Amino acid sequence: MDTKETKDVSSQSDASFDIYDCKTWDCKDKMSIEKKYEVLLQKATDSKKEADLYYNQNWFLSTLDYTTIHDFLIAHPEFYTEKGMSIACVIHALSIETQKKIAETLEDFNLQPEELTEVVLALRKEAKKDLDASLIPEEYRYLLGMEAYLSSNRKNIKIKVDFDKDLEEYRGLDKWIKLMPQHLTEEERKRIPELYKICPGLSVQNIGDIFYSTGAEYLEGEKWIESLIESIPPELSDIQKLAIIDNAIGKKISYSPDHDTEIANTNNERAFWKIISSGKGVCLGIADVEKEILSRVGIKSSIILSDEHAFLKVNDIDIPRADGSVVRGDTIVDPTWNLSSHKFGLKPLTFGITYEQARELDVDFNGIDTCAHKYSQEGRPGAEKVRNSTIGLDDQSLRRVFASVGLARENGEFPAIIYDELFKTAGRMYESNPDTYFQKIFKIITRIYPDFTEAQNESIGFISSVLIKTQNENIERAIVDRVYDKSDKSKSPVLYTYADMGELGERFYVADREQGNMIAISKEEFEERFDCYDLDLKAKNGVRPWQARSKEYQNPNISQAEKGNSNTNTASSPNNATKEIESEEEER
């Protein structure tokens, strides 16, 4: 310990003493009770210091004697409520002896039934073991047989469920049950459905994750995972299993359509089983889902982070070569950037590629490096291993792999053959009739992927790429983006397409979820019913895309789609989709 940083704060008389001047535990040990009182009653000076203040105040409480802590909590009941924590969390931090004494005088605290339940649960097992149970109200004594712990944010008490017990004992304790299935045995996991019937309000957390899913979402997610794994023949190679899993995730999950808006929910976008249940997530959550499923079929992988994206490095896997040989090593798979490919029957561009190939795909239409796959730990130990140890599937071998599991035709063509019809009918037959041109596109897309209006992020990239490819000369400018319905209190995203048809005027098409298609409406109706999200407007300098006249929105370089609808390149972009289409067209 650096003694130069230690301060004898007990001699300080300044009532405005700031806890952040206290840098060492020794400093805190020297503080007088009076000074600790001052610190406990302090409020954080800003949001960044709030967490530090909370942890330090909690530690201070644990250093106080029983009489002081008892009197303090009674005199200042607002202490824990103002900090968004319960008195139980405060008590959990105390010494065993102090906990026992507090438990013996619970009546002094005038606690509500729920608070009393939580306090008894919060007592450490050592305190519960030696406690005179007769001092605890009879209806709460059964809680002494349960073990609890402090949640990762240190502001909640959670029960450690004993699956060898009669699970009926946990009835009514739903809010204190947060399961982490990966920490349970197979036999314990089998009893989760039984526990859920008793405690339907329980929550579930993935290992190493701070986001939670409901019990219902867990059961639905597990059912889908089990069904997927059961559908995979065990004799398949790892690369074949990887193809099936990556494809299944691409068809099941869409990039969160409201990401980077004022209504986005960080937990919903990243909670493991919630993502599977809702079918929506962002890159980190989607990568986590694929990583977990791969592990269940014996394939090791690790999540690689760039500054604003997450993808997978699949470890130690056999990579087939066109000449029939096999190379073993690591390879890159980006399940998020493959979402659009799998939904619309295209060859996935980020399946079994090298790190260098991933970085090449980061360059957008304007030659700007988006750094989506640039390893965030560049220059640090391990970075070279990520860059240099990856190997890739050549095009022929990739097509063979997907064809071998029924995800491509025998000749290696992907189902994107329907693009021929789209290009011919929309690009040639209806070139002089833009209204019919758009309706034809939407009709074909509906046949390709019926839920395209719900998979908005992928559809933005897909529709944008089609407009770029067909280059209808009668359309002077086109935009595909998202808005929300002003009458919708939830402000759910709505997919729209805007087209400036020159002398024919402007056209607006919006997604109709009931019909599962895009419908034409007038400009007046569109502007009356819909508007942009505040954050989207801010990103566009306050200009609504269809009102802009700058080159940024010219036919039809849809910048929002290119950025994955999140300004972070964390989803399929029209840059990728265009390359996919061109790849299919060249081979035909």
- pLDDT, position 21: 46
Contact status, residue 245 vs residue 290, Cβ threshold 8 Å: yes
> Tokens 């009197």 correspond to what residue?
71
Reported as half-sphere exposure (CB side, CA atoms, 13 A), residue 353 has a value of: 20
Backbone angles phi, psi at 192, to 5 degrees: -60, -45
Q: Please give the DSSP secondary-structure letter assigned to residue 346.
A: P
φ/ψ (deg, to 5) at 113: -50, -45
Cβ–Cβ < 8 Å for 204, 218: yes
Of 297, 180, 318, 307, the residue nearest 246 (C-alpha) = 297
- d(CA 260, CA 449) in angstroms, rounded, equals 25
87 touches 119 (CB < 8 A) = yes
- Report the alpha-carbon distance of residue 555 to residue 558 in Å, rounded: 8
d(CA 136, CA 9): 39
Q: Are 303 and 335 in contact (CB under 8 A)?
A: no
Burial class from Cβ neighbours inside 10 Å (0-12, 13-18, 19+) for residue 165 reads exposed
Angle of CA points 488, 494, 495, to nearest 5°:
170
Quick one: which of 342, 355, 230 has its CA closest to 293? Answer: 230
419 class by beta-carbon count within 10 Å (0-12 exposed, 13-18 middle, 19+ buried): buried
CA 69 centroid distance within chain: 40
Residue at 477: amino acid letter: R
- Is residue 322 a contact partner of residue 396, using CB atoms and an 8 Å limit? yes
Q: How far is the C-alpha of 408 from the C-alpha of 398, rounded, in Å?
A: 10
Residue in the structure block whose two tokens are 């595909």: 480
Determine contact, residues 40/68, Cβ cutoff 8 Å: no
Measure CA 370 to chain center. Answer: 21
Q: Which residue has the tokens 């007769």?
A: 134
Q: Where are the alpha helices (DSSP H) in 265-373?
A: 266-270, 272-278, 283-296, 339-343, 355-361
pLDDT in tens, the chain (588 residues): 333 333 333 333 333 334 444 444 444 455 566 666 666 666 655 555 555 555 566 666 777 788 888 888 888 877 777 766 678 888 888 889 999 999 989 889 888 999 999 999 999 999 998 888 998 999 999 999 999 998 877 778 999 999 999 999 999 999 999 999 989 999 999 999 999 999 999 999 987 667 899 999 999 999 999 999 999 999 999 999 999 999 999 999 999 999 999 999 988 999 999 999 999 999 999 999 999 999 999 999 999 998 889 999 999 999 999 999 999 999 999 999 999 999 999 999 999 999 999 999 999 878 899 999 988 665 555 566 666 668 999 999 999 999 999 999 999 999 877 666 666 667 677 777 878 888 888 888 888 899 999 999 999 988 888 887 776 777 888 899 999 999 999 999 999 999 888 887 889 999 998 888 999 999 999 999 999 999 999 999 999 999 986 544 343 333 333 333 332 333 333 344 444 444 444 444
Token pair recorded at residue 86: 């319960």
Residue 580: predicted pLDDT: 47
Whole-angstrom distance, CA of residue 191 vs CA of residue 168: 12
With beta carbons less than 8 A apart as the criterion, state whether 506 and 499 touch.
yes
